[in-house]
Amino acid sequence: MADGDFSVLELGRSAYQAGGSNLAGSPKNDKMQAFGKVTFTYNTGGLVITPSRFGFSTLDFFAVTSIEANNDTAATAAAPFIPAYLGKAEVPGNLIITDDAGTEATDSQTGSFSYHACGSALNADLT
């Protein structure tokens, strides 16, 4: 896996029962949520998170938990890994991973994290 590459293992996906809304508040009936695990090789400047890699046309919400970085070393209370998703609403952004001192992960560091994403489905079944 080259620097900046990642693979997505989706563990679950479901549609919103009431359809949902976009970030402007307009009703939408294609809203979904998904969760899973990402395995990555880090690239300085972050991992580019594009909605289509997670099965969405737009992302309304993207949360990261349970980060293991530095070649899958688990974070500790004394040395946590901190995610920062940088991007405008509904457009791709970068996921930056730092340690508690604010030092960004470096090129070629491997790791994994769990995610929860919400947005408009890439291939919505609107029936």
**Closest listed residue to residue 122, CA positions, set 7, 10, 26:** 10
pLDDT value of position 111: 87
Q: Is residue 1 part of a domain?
A: no
Q: Is residue 102 part of a domain?
A: yes
Q: Is residue 127 part of a domain?
A: no
Count structural domains, the chain: 1
Give the whole-angstrom CA distance, residue 10 versus residue 114.
10
The average confidence (pLDDT) of the chain is 83
Q: Which domain holds residue 67?
A: 6-121
Confidence class for position 36, pLDDT limits 50, 70, 90: very high
At 117, which CATH number? Answer: 2.60.40
114: exposed, middle or buried (Cβ count in 10 Å: 0-12, 13-18, 19+): middle
Give me the phi and psi of 23, to 5 degrees please: -70, -15
Q: Average of pLDDT values for 35-59?
A: 91
pTM (two decimals): 0.82
Give the whole-angstrom CA distance, residue 102 versus residue 118.
28
Q: Average of pLDDT values for 19-35?
A: 80
Q: Report whether pLDDT(39) > 90.
A: yes
Q: 78-124, pLDDT tens digit by residue?
A: 667 888 887 766 567 888 888 878 888 888 888 889 999 998 888 76
Helix, strand counts (H, E) of the chain: 0, 8
pLDDT value of position 105: 84
